[in-house]
A and B are shown apart, each in its own frame.
Chain A
Amino acid sequence: MSTHNFEEFSEFDRALVAALQEGLPLVSEPYAQIASQLGVSEELVLERVASMKENGAIRRIAAVPNHRALGMRANGMSVWNIVDEDVERIGQIMGALDFVSHCYQRPRWMPTWPYNVFAMVHGKTREECLTLVKEIEALVGSSCKGHNVLFSTKTLKKTGLRLRRRGESPRVSSDPLSQSSSGSVSTSTSA
C-alpha cells in the first residue's frame, strides 16, 4: 500500500474530499450528484473514489454509529505496562478480542506513565468494562507489570481533520464546531 502525499493529491482530489466530507449524499445516485456539483462526469468521480479506496486513503464507505445511543455507554481506555519483548505477541492477542476496538503500542512517560500498550474496551456499563479488563488481565499473565483503566467522563469535542486551503497557514478557529470555509475530513477514530 503506497503512502500518498497531500502534494501528490490533485486539486480535483482535494475538491472531491471536501465534497464528501459531510458524508455521502442520501440520494439514489450520490456520485452523480457530487459530479454535477463539481462539474465533472460521474465516471470520473467513481473512478477517483475507487482509486482512493484502493490505495487506502478511504478505509471504507460506511456508517459511524454513536456508541452511546446504541447502549455502549461506557468506554474504558485500558493501559498496560507490557514487557518490551512481549508487546508484539500480547498486542495481537488483545487486538483479536471482539470487545477491543483499537489496540496500539505507544511510548511510556516515566515515571508517571509506565504503560506502553493501549486497548479501548467497550461495554454497556463501567462494571462490564472492568469485567472485560479482568479477562485481558488473565490473558496477559506475567508479561504485564501493571495496568489501569481510564474511563471517559465526558466527550468534549468530536469532529474530524480540518483541511486547509493550499498555502493557508495554521490558525486557531474562533468557533471550532462551526463549519469552516475550508473542508473538514471526518476520520476513523484510530489515532
Chain B
Amino acid sequence: MSTDIAHLNETARVHLDDLDRKLINRLQDGLPVVSKPYAAVAEELGIEEDVLLKRLEWLLETRILTRFGPMFDIAQMGGAFCLCAMAVPEERYDEVTEQVNSLSEVAHNYARDHELNMWFVLATETPEEIETCGKRIEELTGIPVRLFPKEREFFIEFKVPA
C-alpha cells in the first residue's frame, strides 16, 4: 500500500467525550442555511459557539470526521455516478490500483474479497462520460470494467451513531 493512502485505513486512537458524541450525531443532521449556522446549533445544544467551532476543528483534524460542509448531489447538477468492478490479478493489484486511481473521475475505490476484487465509483459531469471513463480504464489496464449503474434507489438517511 502506498503511503498516501495509509491515512484512509487508520483508526483514530482518541477519546470521545459525551459532547463530542452529541456533536457528531447532531452535525450529521445538517445545518440551517443562515448567516451564523454554528451559533444556531450551539444554542440548540446549550453550548457556546466557540466551543462548538473548536471541537469541530479537532474532530476534523483527528479525521473522526472526514469532511464538514455541503454534500453535493452531482446527479441534480446534471452529472453522473456509476459503481464499477474489475477482476484484477493479485500480482498486478498495486499497479492497477495506481492506474485506476490516476483518473480524476474515480471518486472512491475499495478492495473487496471476491473474484471481482476492485470496486470503484466513477463521478463525471455528464452521463456520457461514464462509458468513456470505463473504456479508458480498460485501455490502461487491459482488464474488462463491469459497470453497475443504479437502476433504482431505495434510499434511507443513514447515520453513524457516535
Contacts and interface: CB of A to CB of B under 8 A. Distances in A.
Interface of A: 1, 3-9, 17, 20, 22-24, 26-32, 42, 46, 49-50, 52-53, 55-70, 72-73, 77, 87-88, 91-92, 94-96, 98, 100-107, 109, 112-113, 118, 122, 148, 150-164, 170-174, 176-177, 180, 185-191
Contacts of B60: 23, 26
Contacts of A28: 36, 38-39, 49, 53
Contacts of B74: 161, 185, 187
Given A154-B9, A163-B125, A70 B160 contact: yes
Interface in B80-131: 81-83, 97, 100-116, 118-126, 129
The winner among B73, B77, B100 for most chain A CB atoms within 10 A is: B77
Contact of B79 (A63, A94, A161): A161
B103 to A, nearest CB: 6
A69 B12 contact: yes
A89 B38 CA distance: 40
B76, B151, B154, B155 — most chain A CB neighbours (10 Å): B154
Per DSSP, chain B at the interface is mixed
A163 to B, nearest CB: 7
Contact of B105 (A6, A17, A113, A161): A161
B107 A159 contact: yes
Contact of A63 (B28, B115, B133): B28
Contact of A148 (B76, B78, B114, B126): B114
Contact of B73 (A104, A180, A188): A188
A53 B37 CA distance: 15
Contacts of B34: 46
Contacts of A104: 150-154
Contacts of B33: 46, 49-50, 53, 61
